[in-house]
A and B are shown apart, each in its own frame.
Chain A
Amino acid sequence: MNSLFTFVPGTSWLHRRSPVAKLAWFAAAVGIAFATYHPVPLAVVAVTGLALAALSGVGRPALRTMAVLGPLAASIIVLQALAPATCVAPCLVAAQVGPFAIGGAGLTRGVSLVLRVLAMETWAVAVLVTTHPSDLFAGLRRLHVPYTAAFMGSLTVQLVPVLGRELEIVLAAQRARGMSARGFGALIPALRPAFVATFERVQGMAISMEARGFGLAGARTSWRYVGLDRVDQALAILGAVALVAGVGAGIAWWGLDSLPVVVWPAAVAVVVTAVSAAAFGWLLVRALVLTARG
């Protein structure tokens, strides 16, 4: 099983695009996600990213990542709806369930935050899963990102599947020792050896890199060359325009911190909050039970 954000080889239109163009559009998605709290543009960005991933044959990794983010999303909505950090006037209560008051503004903010995460996640998957890490590094270099920063970025992306593989082996080792090795209960003891293995790998990599001249003064040369044809050039320019326009629109029309006033029907507010609370609660209980079982 592939880890999240692992490169999946393919020949789709997106696979064949230059990483420079893809990075430009990814930057646009992230820029818009941070420029506004308005759920509509955030939803548009998230759906576009998901559609792009699906059309490129990597919809499954995008959905898997969304599933992994599910508990985080549920907790955000529950906490924002029931215990918002601030309550800006008119501070409407969308519904009252016993002692729990579901705040309309808090619910909107929770949904917006989840959409913000999804907007970035779907585009990150679409870009990273269709781009070989080496091409990503070469693309960043082509964009004149400093060598060390580009290398570290590329290395971080490569370490995600490494950590996934290490975890998979440790879980297999747990099963070989007679442990159930399923769920969160297994994950907790598995994390330590997986992280130690990854940490030792990073240490070994650092020695290996420096022993092969990483850090030497003078112009480095490059083995890998990333092409940029006319389609890619046009896409890269359009991506840059989308970034500027999206951020500008976000700030000018919707405001960096402005939240639209959404009047939630009481039933909808209750259902959204209850489903999120149930998902979050089920996860917590399951984690506690599995941890107690060891």
Chain B
Amino acid sequence: MIDLHDVTVRFGTRGEPALDAVSLQVAAGEHVVVAGPLGAGASTLLRLLNGVVPHLVAATVIGRIRVAGLDPLTLPVYAMAGHVGMVLDDPGLTATQGTVAEEVAFGLESLGIPAGAMRPRVATALHDVGLDGLDDRDPATLSGGEQQRLALASVLAMEPSLLVLDEPATNLDPAGAAALLAILRRLCVGRGVTVIRADRDACGATSGATRVVRLAAGRIAADGPPDPDAALGLPAPLGPRSPTGHVVLAVSDVSLTYPGAATQALDGISLEVRAGEVLGMTGPNGSGKSTLARLATGLTQPDAGTVVVGGLDTRVRRPARERAAAAGLVFQDPRHQLLAATVREELALGLRALRTPEPEISRRTALIAERFGLGPLLDRHPLRLGRATRKVVAVAAIRAMAPQLLVLDEPTIGADDALRLLIAQEIVDAAGEGTGVLVLSHDVRLLALVADRVLVVANGRITASGSPGVLLANSLALAGAEAASAPAL
């Protein structure tokens, strides 16, 4: 199905190649995971398979590539669409249609599938990814995880012989990730579909793959079956803490319904975060986590209930700098909060808004840059950095402001192990300095590293709470069991 021979890819004219003399053969029906840290070349390798690189993302490619017997280097990308289905790693960018059903039907329209035959295929694809009943929703209003599912459904409906997925589970909750693995297993075993996907975390049998190709610095470092002993468990917490500080966030019986929405985004939520405490919150995609992040920082007001941050009710109008000193929010998508022309200015921006003296700004900026490893990037434009590095800059910029409450919305999307550990250490350090931290994430390994307590939220309600070890282990075990028990087609 895939035959790469001595392929080298270079973006621009200088620097190291993104892929360096890579040769790889994948047979029909295989399920291959391409693993490796950020920048190892996994995304580039996948984008070669239908010609996105070099046709839509300019690059110099040397070597021979055959996919389903076709040469993606000479054929246009659309000519590969009948054979190769691709899902990119940032599904929020890819929806093109006004409704969910139309988004799934788009590829079928391109292939000339009659309208009568489209409907069952669209319905099946939406059912497979768990988006039943959302046919008429605007894709832009879906949560990050739901958008990921939609991107997958829109490719599954086309029934390609090769599925190319770049970090397909990065926005998904554990149950969603398990369902994804189940679908892929059914496609490989039942229909003989070939799957190749990038997964920075995958290494063991739980990846669901038949083979793991590990990349390092653009080269294949290892290639073989998954290691059965390398099943991912939960990491140990980063140091014990016993937070006993005062309450910095008190959410009392809060409810919120968005205009025009049929159901409540939040329904009677109550919680507290104390100084020095890390409260983790997890739950399915679309369960209301991001809404809670905005409420906790006063950017959105509830319909009912109260939110008190740093002792002050968020309904009381206060200058923006006072609110920012009380609570800092790292948004799910860092693009939205990078406002300055350089990383250096970005780190200083919030401090200037807080009217911090210039010498203190310089001192704190230098300190934060060093801690986050941003020294070499200080003069770069933040929006020219990669997705994961942008997130680091966003976290660093908020940390520099040292708010009483730090709220992080999905801080590890697109991160590899090293980056996850860096962010986790920063969270723990912030708590150690007396900051209350609220982490909203479906990354159970991050929560296991940092959280003192974990709340599980579903359909806008808190459904469970307790110690991270028990709750998160149950979550992982349940997800693994669902994936393993999925029937073949």
Residues on A facing B (Cβ under 8 Å): 9, 132-134, 137, 154-155, 158, 161-162, 165-166, 169-170, 172-181, 189-190, 192-193, 196-197, 200-201, 203-216, 218-225
Contacts and interface: CB of A to CB of B under 8 A. Distances in A.
A220 B105 CA distance: 11
B112 A189 contact: no
Nearest to B322: A178
B353 A214 contact: no
A178 B331 contact: no
Interface stretch (B4-12, B95-103, B209-217, B473-481): B95-103
A210 B383 contact: no
B372 interface: no
A138 B266 CA distance: 37
Contacts of A173: 329, 331, 336-337, 339
A221 B114 contact: yes
Given A193-B335, A193-B339, A211-B52, A172 B294 contact: yes
A222 B118 CA distance: 9
Nearest to A181: B320
A208 B140 contact: no
B172 to A, nearest CB: 18
Interface residues of B, number: 72
B127 interface: no
Nearest to A132: B98
Contacts of B350: 177-178
11 contacts: A169-B331, A173-B339, A175-B324, A176-B327, A176-B329, A206-B56, A207-B52, A211-B85, A213-B78, A213-B111, A222-B109
B99 A208 contact: no
Contact of A190 (B114, B122, B325, B339): B339
A195 to B, nearest CB: 10
Given A193-B339, A215-B76, A216-B78, 18 more contacts: A173-B337, A173-B339, A175-B299, A175-B320, A176-B329, A178-B321, A196-B383, A205-B94, A208-B93, A208-B95, A210-B81, A211-B80, A211-B84, A213-B82, A215-B78, A219-B112, A220-B110, A221-B109
Contacts of A218: 112
Contacts of A162: 140
A204 B299 contact: no
Contacts of B106: 209, 212, 214
B225 interface: no
Interface string B276-320: 000000000000000000100101000000000000000000011
A203 B102 CA distance: 20
Question: Which 10 residue pairs are nearest across A and B when measured between Cβ atoms?
Answer: A204-B93, A213-B110, A178-B324, A178-B353, A213-B81, A208-B94, A212-B107, A173-B337, A223-B105, A134-B98
B88 A207 contact: yes
A204 B320 contact: no
A221 B110 CA distance: 7
A215 B110 CA distance: 8
Contacts of A192: 339, 383
Q: Which of A134, A207, A218 has the most CB of B within 10 A?
A: A207
B98 A133 contact: yes
Interface of B: 50, 52, 56-57, 76-82, 84-86, 88, 90, 92-99, 101-102, 105-115, 118, 122, 140, 151, 154-155, 158, 260, 294, 297, 299, 319-321, 323-325, 327-329, 331, 333, 335-339, 349-350, 353-354, 383, 397-398, 401
A211 B72 CA distance: 12
Contacts of B57: 207
Given A207-B94, A214-B110, A222-B115, A196 B339 contact: no
A165 B102 CA distance: 21
Given A204-B90, A220-B109, A221-B114, A158 B81 contact: no
A174 B88 CA distance: 29
Contacts of A9: 260
A3 B122 CA distance: 30
- By DSSP majority rule, is chain A's interface helix, strand, loop, or mixed? helix
A153 to B, nearest CB: 13
A249 B397 CA distance: 62
Nearest to A218: B112
Contact of A134 (B97, B114, B155, B335): B97
B81 A216 contact: yes
A203 B81 contact: no
B349 to A, nearest CB: 6
Q: Which of A176, A177, A213 has the most CB of B within 10 A?
A: A176
B115 A221 contact: yes
Given A205-B93, A211-B52, A213-B110, A177 B337 contact: yes
B450 to A, nearest CB: 21
Nearest to B383: A196
Contacts of B383: 192-193, 196
A60 to B, nearest CB: 13
B317 to A, nearest CB: 12
Contacts of A172: 294, 299, 336
Contact of A174 (B101, B297, B319, B339): B339
Given A216-B81, A223-B105, A223-B109, A178 B323 contact: yes
Contacts of A216: 78-79, 81, 110-112
Nearest to A173: B337
B81 A211 contact: yes
A180 B324 CA distance: 11
Contacts of B155: 212
Contacts of B349: 177, 179
A134 B102 contact: yes
Given A210-B77, A211-B81, A213-B110, A180 B320 contact: yes
Contacts of B122: 223
Nearest to B78: A215
B325 A178 contact: yes
A214 B155 CA distance: 13
Contacts of B323: 175-176, 178
A107 B355 CA distance: 48
Contacts of A223: 101-102, 105, 108-109, 115, 118, 122
Contacts of A220: 109-110, 112
A176 B297 contact: yes
A77 B93 CA distance: 41
A197 B383 CA distance: 9
Contacts of B329: 173, 176
A133 B108 CA distance: 19
A201 B93 contact: yes
Contacts of A221: 108-109, 112-115, 118
Nearest to A203: B93
